[in-house]
Amino acid sequence: MYRLLKTEINYFKLHLSVIVLVSLIFTICALNNIKLFPQIYFLEKYFWSVIVGLGIYAIVFMIWSMRKKEMRERQHALLPISINKLTFTRWLFGVSPFILVGFYIEMLRSILPSQQLIYIERINGQLGMMFIALVGFDLVINSWFALQSKRYDKRLIYTVILSIALIILSFGVIYIVSASIIKPFGFGGEEIFFFIWALIISLVDATIFTKRKLLVG
């Protein structure tokens, strides 16, 4: 199981290295209190939350798109490893970038200048929402393949209902946590609930993944 996880990390080490690099660049700029766009309000306020949060989402999405294109899960299914171990490895590989970066960014709180602390909350707020988006998308895809025994129209109805429910519930979490759904940044630690909600979705997703009869998606 851990050998398979190590193989995936080595295979996508270039992409994962970019995630580390982006986090380090933010750390260097934040520690030195460097303001990249002091005269441009929007960029000054949201630049790092977009670069780190949305950037990491884009990289992880790219990784999973490549995994699907190369049918790596179908290849892994041929290995002498149980579906539960395969699912756990897949789950761990999927959630780790968000959890580790979120934890790392939060740990910077104790050493950053006070002017930079607001970026901690904005970055983790954005990162948490991107985490929700990615695991929600994967849940819908896995649910579609898990329902292969159903007629096409029933599969479609179930998938659409699931998608709508996920959107409503996720926006509900964002709305409850955020003071303003239009400006969901600048929390005071409440962004942790985004990560908790994303982890709940990911566990449901992992459970459904074990029900897939063919790992071809």
Does the residue 214 lie in any domain?
no
Residue 69 counted as domain residue? yes
In a domain, 62, yes or no: yes
In a domain, residue 26? The reply is: yes
**In a domain? residue 174:** yes
Q: How many domains does one find in the chain?
A: 1
Mean pLDDT score, 148-172: 88
pLDDT grade, residue 40 (50/70/90)? low
Share of residues in the chain with pLDDT > 70 (%) = 88
> Would residue 189 be called left, alpha or beta, if left means φ above 0 and alpha means ψ between -120 and 50 degrees?
left
Tokens (6 digits) for 124:
């983790």
Question: In this structure, is residue 186 part of a structural domain?
Answer: yes
State the residue range of the domain holding 22.
2-209
- List, for residues 58-108, the tens digit of each pLDDT value: 999 999 888 888 787 777 777 788 888 888 999 999 999 999 999 998 888
User: Is 128 inside any structural domain?
Assistant: yes
The predicted model scores a pTM of 0.83
Does any domain span residue 216? no
